[in-house]
Amino acid sequence: MNNNTATTDTAPEALRASMVEHILNAGHARRAQVEQALRQIPRHRFLPAATITDAYADLAVITKRGRDGTALSCASVPTVVAMMLDQLDVHPGHHILEIGAGTGYNAALLAHLTGPTGQVSTIDIDPDVTTGARRALDATGYGHVHVITRDGALGAPEHAPYDRIILTVGAWDLPPALHNQLAPAGRLVVPLRWRGQARSIAFTHQGAGLRSDSVQLCGFVPMIGQHGERSGHLDTHGLVTLHCDTDQDIDPATLRGVLDQNKTEAWSQVMVNGEESFDGVWLRLTSTEPGTCRIAADPTAVHNALCTPAIPSRSPALTDGSSLAYLALRRPAESAERDWELGAIGHGPTGPTLANRINQHIHTWNHNRTAQPTITAYPADTPDNQLPDTHTINKQHTRLVITY
């Protein structure tokens, strides 16, 4: 029996219509052209190993895993696909480069949007992935899409310049090829990672740099070959891990045992409900705090109260030498059942100060919870005197400035 029909009697067309309605209700596919593309392209044809139900559910479908179980390639969540297409703003006739071929589904959407006068090139470093994408694109009438097996960091200069470039893999940095192959009036959409969190950013050229006009929360399989992060355990049993970027002056070994030191709790009186995202606090921390990083706690660490971050698997933390504080949640006795109070827990000599600094950012975020920053990416060789007088995040190829 074909897996695509094994678990549902519902026709693909009905499930696709339901998927699009869900996307619209989530506030995405704001352009009629994007909605039309989502309604027309048969996503299940790009996911032959998935059930039709899963093909049209609002979830990522893993299509390849490594030997250790790590996801190496997937079909992105449909709402995220639509969100990024909104950011990309494709028009007929555009030349488009996609880095991260995946199943070929996104390339088909791009080809629909750019039409017969446009051009789409999609790249992936994994030949298994490009072979699958090529097969699906040919079978669905998109044989004119260029499918290239190559390190995405190199781009595709043979078809440049591009009116639009989109990365559908998580990037820690912006390789020079992206700057060089983007047309002067072009747009670049990239799921960029820094300080342990990621945002889908839509960039346009501005002077010598790239300036954002849209910043959205997201998560993606990381791009192969970019090693911008390091990590270390904070306890002897390996239950709590600190993740930081290679440009940061943070030594996880210096912080080993910090959770055994005196604990300080600082609560902000800022409340959130169970359905509300507070990732904006993390984003604000990255704009001014050099010691911003990510902390992850095993369920055993949480159960034993060794470390109780707001979200155990991924919460922001601040470090300063041998001290640390992290974002936390608690439910006050007098609050409504679904309300939580944001705060911070600190350890080490300057733990109380770090916890109070996190609370200051909580309050700043609370004044305008939907505020989005402007993120400007400059080439790595840009001298300090040509940058704004503010905190800079330095990567191998890029210098990031985040301002509100």
Q: Given CA atoms 19, 280, 392, 265 in this order, what sign does their dihedral have?
A: negative
Closest by Cα among 334, 302, 156, 126 to 326: 302
Active-site residue, 277 included: no
pLDDT of residue 279: 95
d(CA 187, CA 282): 26
Confidence check: pLDDT of 336 > 90? no
Q: Which residue, chain included where needed, has tokens 């390849």?
A: 64
Q: Which residues contact 155 (CB under 8 A, 6 or more apart)?
A: 97, 99, 123, 165, 175, 177, 178, 180, 181
The fold of the 3-217 domain, in CATH, is Rossmann fold (3.40.50)
Of the chain, the end-to-end C-alpha distance in Å amounts to 55
d(CA 244, CA 229): 6
pLDDT in tens, 272-283: 997 889 999 999
Q: What is the mean pLDDT of the chain?
A: 92
For the chain, give every domain's residue range: 3-217, 229-367
**40-69 mean pLDDT:** 89
Confidence check: pLDDT of 334 > 70? no
Exactly one of 73, 76, 315, 323 is catalytic; name it.
76
pLDDT in tens, 154-191: 999 999 999 999 999 889 999 999 999 999 999 999 99
Confidence check: pLDDT of 6 > 50? no
pLDDT of residue 61: 86
Q: For residue 304, what are its two tokens? A: 């034993």
Q: How many CB atoms lie within 10 A of CB 20?
A: 21
pLDDT in tens, 187-206: 999 999 999 999 999 999 98
Contact 16, 56 (CB under 8 A): yes
Give percent helix, percent strand, percent coil of the chain, each to the nearest 5: 30, 35, 40
SS3 270: strand
Name the pTM for this structure: 0.91
Confidence check: pLDDT of 87 > 80? yes
Contact 133, 110 (CB under 8 A): no
pLDDT of residue 3: 44
